[in-house]
Structure 1
């Protein structure tokens, strides 16, 4: 599953839509959490997933529903966004975009009025706001 986390951002739009419609295997939550240095519980909270539902689906090796899968994919896309930003800015050697993103998502953000970016991950609109803040950071128009 870990290779899916890296690969999904490069999939063709039709493939991305297909996986969203069928849902990610629930175990991807734990893999993404581990990649980001979060516990599974922290990932469930940050992504505003229903704890009992996700834990049951993980245990039963079932798939997440589309909205939950969309939030997972959004975070995967943000990791790739940060990786591209760092690569364009200089030498990415030793930089872990997933760990950096996890810390940034959990910290108060001046560009969001002091709220944590993770507080915005429950809606598509909020996700776009967070991705916009990341994009502005690269240009220097962050705060």
Structure 2
């Protein structure tokens, strides 16, 4: 019986150096593919959060104009100061968690949305009437 156990323990082997290196290389390849994808996903999520913030500012501006200006949307410009407290919570934040220090929602002569912009410590973010960042639009800062 002991001879059988001795023989089994002698025949057991660990991983060879080649096998370990192969596993490390495979993990490295997977990491090289996954890390940029995750970074892109995080940036897209932040952009989507900024878009949602712009939509929230627009909806608050509509409520403000309906309640305070008798629904007159033509050539209207609504600022963050008009909205804070009653139509928006104070200290609203963007997709990066930065506090919004200024915001403007503008409507054209027909009363349709023209643009939404808001400013944080990272810079100003501008959105067109479809809540897309206009071509050539970039944020100041980062």
Task: Give the TM-score normalised by the residue count of structure 2.
Answer: 0.25
Task: Give the TM-score normalised by the residue count of structure 1.
Answer: 0.25
Point out the structure with the larger strand share. 2
Q: Which protein, 1 or 2, shows the higher relative CO under an 8 Å CA cutoff with sep ≥ 6?
A: 1
Instruction: Work out which of the two has the higher radius of gyration on C-alpha atoms and give 1 or 2.
Output: 2
